[in-house]
Chains A and B, each alone.
Chain A
């Protein structure tokens, strides 16, 4: 991304390959579904706010899953909510990504044994790309999760099989 920092004084040519350009464009505008479940959602909102500024990575909350690229599962996934999460996920257009934020959505968290109402990990209903550990994870941890997701997108290829 370095060349964007420098000012263009005159017309110029940038040489790149199409795949790198497309991947760079995609990873720089990962729009997220406006969706929060529990206390992790508070950390996620803090990450979006001015101090941590999710927006500088191109993460903009979208009001509809149909316009979103990523869904951050930020909190305890109950069975009642799991049904809804699956539905929201299915409404998102491909390519779509999932960040599982916090212990609850990773593996059930503190409810792993006696939580009769908690799904023990959101990966039992939808595929997860990045797991962010913590209870709840600090905004820095969520940012690192996002960077991991960007890394994943950067290495994707339309031609080569994954």
Chain B
């Protein structure tokens, strides 16, 4: 079992890039921020290093940070430009009984990161859900398509804060 500080030290000594690894505190949780281009390498390191052995991805979830510039539209709805979307990875070592939270922030206008489904198999569907709901694109994903909404859905990404319902879907009226 390793503490958060020990894991952070290990990561910092192995990934020396300028903005690759940093730590922050959100609420009561310590979080390791990873740059989008490094997430796969960092995940591989965490999963395969003997005394870290993070063998399980508990969950992967995407969040709209809502920190861009908000422009109010005529119909009271908002449009957001700039800012970030974030992905949280909760990982655990079942064997060594320690947990860790990783966070990757991507730009709202260009939400691209790298898939970790080659490291943890269950990330496959989680990443598809993040793509479906928030619109994050995971490069190197084996099968990145919508998972919950219909495959031919063109109404956008419904869990984004500036989402607006389309008028129709396949001839069916959408608003109440």
Q: Give A residues with C-beta under 8 Å from B.
A: 79-80, 82-83, 107-108, 112-113, 116-117, 119-120, 124-125
Q: Are A79 and B169 in contact (CB under 8 A)?
A: yes
Could you jot down 13 A-B contacts, CB within 8 Å?
Answer: A79-B169, A79-B170, A79-B172, A79-B174, A80-B149, A80-B150, A107-B176, A113-B176, A116-B158, A116-B165, A116-B174, A117-B149, A120-B175
Counted as pairs of residues, one from A and one from B, with CB atoms less than 8 Å apart, the total is: 32
**Closest Cβ of chain B: how far from A114's Cβ, in Å?**
9
- Assuming the A-B contacts A116-B163, A116-B165, A117-B149, are A124 and B158 also in contact, with contact meaning beta carbons closer than 8 angstroms in the complex? no
**Closest Cβ of chain A: how far from B170's Cβ, in Å?**
7
Q: Are B173 and A117 in contact (CB under 8 A)?
A: no
Contact size class for B?
A: 10 to 19
Task: Determine whether B82 belongs to the interface, using a CB cutoff of 8 Å to chain A.
Answer: no
Docked Cα-Cα span, A124 to B170, in Å, equals 12
Docked Cα-Cα span, A80 to B165, in Å, equals 16
Q: 17 other contacts beyond A79-B150, A107-B176, A125-B172, with CB at 8 A cut-off?
A: A79-B153, A79-B170, A79-B172, A80-B149, A80-B150, A82-B172, A83-B170, A108-B176, A113-B176, A116-B158, A116-B174, A117-B148, A117-B149, A117-B158, A119-B172, A120-B175, A124-B172
